[in-house]
Amino acid sequence: MGELAELWPCLAYSDAMSLTVSHFSPERKDVQFFLSIILEKGMRPSRKITPGAPARPHVLIWTDACYDNEYRGLGLVSVDTDDSSPHCTMCADVCPPWLLATFKAQCSWVIWVLEMLAGLYGLRTLGQELRGRRVYFFCDSTAAWSSMITGYSSSKTMARVSVLFQLFVAALNIDLWVEWVSTDANIADLLSRPLSGRSELSKIIPPLVERPMIFISEEEFNDPALFFKKWRE
């Protein structure tokens, strides 16, 4: 860690230095985010593993996204198996315009990033309810599934969202298992569609309780270190 601390001043931005000639190029800012987390005492994203059964029963989460015509929907279904407060909830919303504009400008396969974003917003919406718990996560996108597990992607935009996803998991010490399911087996698919396509929801027993989807701010999206520290504390 001493070597990294000595390296820190060398990575600071200089108004006179162009990123186009920097060794780190566009990724230089991401390196700063990373170092600002691991160099700050008590803020390192370490995991704590406790053998045996979890202290509280697990949570099941399904997420999905839609990129169809003019609709950019995000869907979430969660089942909390805790006997003290068992409940099934659902969320349905659309991608924030500022974030959708960013995705369109930076990548061609926007649906993949939206699928990853749905996963991130799923964790953010449930928030403290997931702290220290085992979570089984289901999605029907292999690209998002891979990024949720590895915390990375060859797409810089996808990588940013997956890093935020993994930082959230670390900050709340979530014991996460991510699994791919087919679209037909993903109940959140209904929530990602326009309202007219959700008629099948009425057939679900017990009924799902609707709750608002909670988004991260533009500041948190652009500064992963800030996002991590907020939830770590």
Amino acid at 106: Q
Q: Do residues 80 and 59 lie in contact, with contact meaning Cβ atoms separated by under 8 Å?
A: yes
Q: Do 168 and 139 share a structural domain?
A: yes
Determine the pLDDT at residue 93: 95
Q: Do 110 and 16 share a structural domain?
A: no
pLDDT tens for residues 66-86? 998 788 999 999 999 987 666
pLDDT tens for residues 84-113? 666 899 999 999 999 999 999 988 889 999
Determine the pLDDT at residue 151: 87
Task: Tell me whether residue 48 is in a domain.
Answer: no
Q: Do 101 and 26 share a structural domain?
A: no
Q: What is the DSSP string of 135-177?
A: EEEEES-HHHHHHHHHS--SSHHHHHHHHHHHHHHHHTT-EEE
The 10 Å Cβ neighbour count of residue 24 is: 12
pLDDT band at 45 (very low <50, low <70, confident <90, very high): low
Tell me the residue range of the domain where 173 lies. Answer: 59-232
pLDDT tens for residues 121-155? 999 999 999 998 999 999 999 999 999 998 888 88
Determine the pLDDT at residue 152: 85
Q: Do residues 151 and 165 lie in contact, with contact meaning Cβ atoms separated by under 8 Å?
A: yes
Determine the pLDDT at residue 11: 44
Average predicted confidence (pLDDT) for the chain: 82
Q: Do residues 121 and 215 lie in contact, with contact meaning Cβ atoms separated by under 8 Å?
A: yes
Phi, psi torsion values for 110, nearest 5 degrees = -65, -35
pLDDT tens for residues 152-196? 888 888 988 998 999 999 889 899 999 999 999 999 999 998 887
DSSP, res 59: E
Determine the pLDDT at residue 98: 93
Amino acid at 207: P
- Which CATH number do you get for residue 126? 3.30.420.10
Task: Tell me whether residue 136 is in a domain.
Answer: yes
Q: Which of 2-6, 12-16, 80-84, 162-166 shows the lowest mean pLDDT across its residues?
A: 12-16
Task: Tell me whether residue 194 is in a domain.
Answer: yes
Q: Do 103 and 27 share a structural domain?
A: no
Determine the pLDDT at residue 20: 44
Q: Distance of alpha carbon 21 from its chain centroid, rounded?
A: 32
Q: Do 154 and 100 share a structural domain?
A: yes
Show the CA angle centred on residue 10, arms to residues 5 and 13, nearest 5°: 120
Determine the pLDDT at residue 29: 64
* Sheet (strand 209-210) strand order: 175-180, 134-139, 59-65, 73-80, 87-94, 209-210
Q: Which of 30-39, 173-182, 204-213 has the highest mean pLDDT?
A: 173-182
Among 78, 60, 63, residue whose Cα is nearest residue 177: 60
In DSSP terms, which residues pair with 89 in a beta bridge?
A: 78, 209
Q: Do 133 and 24 share a structural domain?
A: no
Amino acid at 134: R
Domain total of the chain: 2
Q: What is the pTM of this model?
A: 0.79
Amino acid at 41: K
pLDDT tens for residues 46-68? 666 667 666 788 999 999 999 98
Whether the ω angle into residue 224 lies within 30 degrees of 0, i.e. cis, is no
Half-sphere exposure of 209 (CA within 13 A, CB side): 6
Q: Do 176 and 114 share a structural domain?
A: yes
Contacts with 68 (C-beta within 8 Å, 6 or more apart), sequence order = 193
